[in-house]
Structure 1
Amino acid sequence: MNKVFGRWIGHSLSARLLWLTVIVTLLVEVMILLPSLGHERSAWLMNRVTEAHLAALTVSTAPHGVVDLSTRNELLRLSGTEAIRLVQGGRSILVLPPRGTVRAEGSINLAHETLFGSVLRALDVQFGLAPRDVLVTAPSPLQPNVIVQIVVHNPVLARHLWHYADHTAALSLAIALLTGLVVYVALNRVLVLPMRRLTESITRFREDPEHAAPLAIRPADEFRDDEIAVAARELASMQTELRAALWRNARLAALGTAVAKISHDLRNILSTALLVADRLSGSADPAIRSGATTLVDAVERATDLVTHTLSFAREGPPPLVRAACPLAELVADVAAQTRLLHERLTIETNIPAEIMPSLDRTQMQRALLNLMRNAAEAGAGRLVISSGIDAGQVIIDIVDDGPGLPERAQANLFRPFTGSARSGGTGLGLAIARDLVRAHGGELTLVATSSRGTHFRISIPLDPG
């Protein structure tokens, strides 16, 4: 009960809309009432002028143009005046003199009065600021060439205006309440109820984002383009994407737990491989020694990758061990590793030897290797790596001649499990590469992609300090 009552006294959006509509309607009615008062005053006075002229015509039909005292008083009472004078052809005739001593303390000429002036005088009359008796002059509606002058008792006019104001105010209040109710029902249906659906869905999703169902879009809302319908569709889409992301994160967390459990055995396997590689490096055959050196380097990188991957899964981006690194040498090493895996790929590098940014060589090597391998696996036959310095940033451009990224991959770029450009891919390569670049305080962006190739750009600070 308190909840419902609270909505009506202003604690809900619908109640506030209701009272706002009522208040605005009342303000409009007040703005209309003031001119209406002025018009009603003028109409009342003109009615007195007309009735006074009729009373004067009645007197003119009497013998010798004179009536007895009781008839005079009755004619003055019926006309609502204290005295009547006619002015015609320059002659002024006191048709009906006052019943007693009447002293007009003010005068009004209705022919020259404006609506604004009439409103002000009506308010003066209502609040007792006008003289008690006033002389009113106006052309007769019956005979425009006849000027009628009457003395009006303002308290009588004040009672009439207050009665008119009370009646109009009551009608205005009824109209305001009815208008407010109609607007309330309409806004409650088209605005408040949809907003309530949105807020309830948001609340449910906040309480249990993994299991709460996304907002159900009604068929009528699918084709509407107003703000609430758009917000509902966007909220449903966001909830669907967030829930999918939470499920992916849960799966990744489970995967990280599984990887952590097997990391010990994996390190033992790599240790055995490293031991065998060390023994092979002592072989008398130069070819075997060369291959063993490459194998040792690969096993060491694999061991380091397992360690850093576990740290990344548990704590976020890996800590960086920065040092001045010759970028040309780093890119050449990554290009050599890529060629071993993709023999048909032609890699061209254009890296000035003087560029030596402060970075973690191992992590940047992983980022570049992911980008180059992605290009090769996407079908590129030629890869061009170039670099330069711009506004304190080291710019590394990776341009291939592959078929370009499909629209689905572009829409989900850098998102694991959704941003892969090839069938069966996971999209982890780009996601990991961007995380590693961001760990250096830089950014990995897609510059362009088309059927003629794809252009990625890495920008990192030359000196992070």
Structure 2
Amino acid sequence: MSKERSVLPGRFSGLSIKLIATIIGVILLVEVVVYVPSLASFRANWLEDRLRVGIVAARVLDAVPDVMALPRSLTDRLLTSAGANAIVYRRQGQSQLIELAMPVRPDVVVTADMRQQDIMTLAAGALDTLFAGPGRTLRIVGEGDLDESLVEILMSEYPLRQDMLAYSRQIAAVSLAIAALTAVALYLLVSGLFIAPVRRLTQNMLAYRQEPENAALILTPSARRDEIGILERELAAMERDIFSMLRQRRHLAELGLAVAKINHDLRNTLTSAQLLSDQVATLDDPKVQRLAPRLVTTLDKAIGFAQSVLDYGRETAAPPVFEPVKLHDLVVDAAFEARLVGHPTVQFRNGVAEELILSVDAVQFGRVLVNLLKNAREALEAQNNGHDPVPEVAVSVTEDEAQTVISVTDNGPGLAPRARENLFVAFEGSARAGGTGLGLAIAREIVEAHGGRIGHVPTPTGTRFDIELPADLRTSL
């Protein structure tokens, strides 16, 4: 199988560039949130400055009984200092007006009432000015320095908008500088604490994936006590386990190949010996007639053992093909194959309801049932003495909301202690003398592939195996 080679991102790509971009983005977002109140405050101060000039002009107007007697040069100087087209002073129900020699008659007038200082009003006014079109006239309204006096200033909104744009550019430049400096500082800090160790782990995983049997590539964990330190130690332990497992697998593969070759030759030799034993069994010598059956039985067991080893070595890990199957019929077929149907001494009882349908692989699951039923038959045949109780093998099913349990029981002698300790272990967990234990090992693999479990249930007499399958395998045709 070819291995697709992954490439480690550059230093300023991958997590690094994402980290820098995230820091800059967060800082700029914070600056945007701060920017609007700051801009509103700038606009309010700008308007207050113009209003103070208007208040000075109002004092002059208040000191002069007849505003028409004021020199034009003085009124123009007052308007110029305020940048205004006109100033209106209202006090005790009277109004006084100073305006340019060439009065301006505005088309669009927007009012800025400085008596309202709440943040929402100031922010709305600032945004309105910032995005306003050209040609608008601004009417600034505020209280004078005397009781119940009011000052109004009429002026072009253009100077205010220009000053706000210049202020915004300054804020943007300062924000970018702060974001860049902060991003660099945080990157250097986070890079040393997190990104560099993560890159080290990534490089190690990429290199070890290419050469998992190279012990020099096993990670040497640091002394960190945080999550990255735990990750380093767990990765190093996993790599050591993989290294040991791969080395063991290679040894087992080489050993298995040698055993298969020896077993093949041994099977051929035993087959020849079986042919000779069959010929010897035809001789009339009483001693030969007495010993020949034992010789034939021994050779049959040896040949069967050799064949089972070869069959287990050829086992494939094909996933099950799930399809609706009547479990009752599947048990009948398995009992027939296990030679329980029509058996002269062993009775068979199929307690599975005919309407029960499971979604399983019929071929694979049938092998599980055949192995269990065959083991039960052989155990009963070995201990049958012709007395009660009558040897019996039974299959039953119990169902609940969580699972379906298939039980295979017999009333035989039960399992030997050694067999119980090594159940489902190939070549060690045989339920009968001379067996290989491959049937139970294969049965466990098939049941687990179906998402279930198989286990031995201790009983006072006999043997019982339970197959637990998920309830969602119950279906209908």
Tell me the residue number matched to 1:15: 17
Alpha-carbon spacing, 1:270–1:251, altered in 2? closer, same or farther (3 Å): same
Q: 1:154 offset after TM fit, Å?
A: 1.3
Q: Partners in 2 of 1:54 and 1:308 — Cα distance?
A: 113
Q: 1:252 offset after TM fit, Å?
A: 1.1
Tell me the residue number matched to 2:343: none
Q: Partners in 1 of 2:313 and 2:8 — Cα distance?
A: 50
Q: 1:235 offset after TM fit, Å?
A: 3.8
In structure 2, what residue type is equivalent to 1:110? M
Alpha-carbon spacing, 1:306–1:138, altered in 2? closer, same or farther (3 Å): same
Q: Percent identity?
A: 25
1:170 paired to 2:173: yes
Alpha-carbon spacing, 1:4–1:36, altered in 2? closer, same or farther (3 Å): farther
Tell me the residue number matched to 1:434: 441
Q: Partners in 2 of 1:198 and 1:52 — Cα distance?
A: 70
2:223 is matched with which residue: 215, 219, 223? 219
Q: 1:129 offset after TM fit, Å?
A: 1.3
1:139 is matched with which residue: 139, 143, 154? 143
Q: Is the 8 A contact 1:317 1:439 kept in 2?
A: no
1:396 is matched with which residue: 408, 431, 447? 408
Q: How does 1:307-456 map to 2 (within 5 A)?
A: 307-313=307-313, 316=316, 324-326=333-335, 352=349, 359=366, 364=371, 387-389=395-397, 395-396=407-408, 433-438=440-445, 445=453
**SS at 1:156 equivalent:** helix
Q: 1:155 offset after TM fit, Å?
A: 1.6
Tell me the residue number matched to 2:305: 305
Q: How does 1:38-77 map to 2 (within 5 A)?
A: 38-57=40-59, 60=62, 68-77=71-80
**SS at 1:27 equivalent:** helix
Q: Partners in 1 of 2:208 and 2:426 — Cα distance?
A: 23
Q: 1:163 offset after TM fit, Å?
A: 1.5
Spell out, residue by residue over 1:297-326, the C-alpha distance to the aligned partner (whole angstroms, 9 max, x if none): 3432332332342354356479xxx99443
In structure 1, what residue type is equivalent to 2:181? L
In structure 2, what residue type is equivalent to 1:165? S
1:92 paired to 2:95: yes
Tell me the residue number matched to 2:206: 203
In structure 2, what residue type is equivalent to 1:435? I
Spell out, residue by residue over 1:136-176, the C-alpha distance to the aligned partner (whole angstroms, 9 max, x if none): 11224x55643211112212112211121111111111122
In structure 2, what residue type is equivalent to 1:13? L
**SS at 1:205 equivalent:** helix
Q: Partners in 2 of 1:431 and 1:186 — Cα distance?
A: 59
Spell out, residue by residue over 1:36-93, the C-alpha distance to the aligned partner (whole angstroms, 9 max, x if none): 3233222211222123213433565679887544443333333343332222333323
Tell me the residue number matched to 2:84: 81
**SS at 1:216 equivalent:** coil
Q: How does 1:236-251 map to 2 (within 5 A)?
A: 236-251=236-251
Q: Partners in 2 of 1:147 and 1:27 — Cα distance?
A: 40
Spell out, residue by residue over 1:169-203, the C-alpha distance to the aligned partner (whole angstroms, 9 max, x if none): 11111122223223433443444333323322221
Spell out, residue by residue over 1:339-368, the C-alpha distance to the aligned partner (whole angstroms, 9 max, x if none): xxxxxxxxxx9963688x975599837995
Spell out, residue by residue over 1:248-277, the C-alpha distance to the aligned partner (whole angstroms, 9 max, x if none): 210111102221342355336534764676
Q: Is the 8 A contact 2:454 2:467 kept in 1?
A: no
1:256 paired to 2:256: yes
Q: Is the 8 A contact 2:85 2:154 kept in 1?
A: yes
2:103 is matched with which residue: 101, 111, 117? 101
Aligned length: 403
Q: Partners in 1 of 2:298 and 2:452 — Cα distance?
A: 26
Comparing 171-180 and 183-192, the one that deviates more: 183-192
In structure 1, what residue type is equivalent to 2:248? R
Gaps of 5+ in 2: 1-6, 319-330, 341-345, 353-361, 380-391, 430-435
Q: 1:403 offset after TM fit, Å?
A: 11
2:27 is matched with which residue: 7, 10, 25? 25
Tell me the residue number matched to 1:339: none
Alpha-carbon spacing, 1:63–1:88, altered in 2? closer, same or farther (3 Å): closer
2:114 is matched with which residue: 110, 114, 128? 110
TM-score between both structures, scaled by the size of structure 1: 0.66
Q: Is the 8 A contact 1:330 1:361 kept in 2?
A: no
Q: Partners in 2 of 1:211 and 1:455 — Cα distance?
A: 47
Alpha-carbon spacing, 1:181–1:138, altered in 2? closer, same or farther (3 Å): same
Q: Partners in 2 of 1:315 and 1:389 — Cα distance?
A: 29
Alpha-carbon spacing, 1:275–1:171, altered in 2? closer, same or farther (3 Å): same
Comparing 41-50 and 110-119, the one that deviates more: 110-119
Q: Partners in 2 of 1:4 and 1:323 — Cα distance?
A: 59
Q: Is the 8 A contact 1:6 1:12 kept in 2?
A: yes
Spell out, residue by residue over 1:192-228, the C-alpha distance to the aligned partner (whole angstroms, 9 max, x if none): 333323322221122111125333332214xx3x4x5
Q: Partners in 2 of 1:264 and 1:404 — Cα distance?
A: 27
In structure 2, what residue type is equivalent to 1:179? T
Q: Is the 8 A contact 2:455 2:467 kept in 1?
A: no
**SS at 2:255 equivalent:** helix
**SS at 1:364 equivalent:** helix
Q: Partners in 2 of 1:4 and 1:401 — Cα distance?
A: 57
Tell me the residue number matched to 2:387: none
Q: Partners in 1 of 2:420 and 2:231 — Cα distance?
A: 30
Q: How does 1:187-202 map to 2 (within 5 A)?
A: 187-202=190-205
Q: 1:14 offset after TM fit, Å?
A: 1.1
Alpha-carbon spacing, 1:447–1:74, altered in 2? closer, same or farther (3 Å): farther
Q: 1:437 offset after TM fit, Å?
A: 5.0
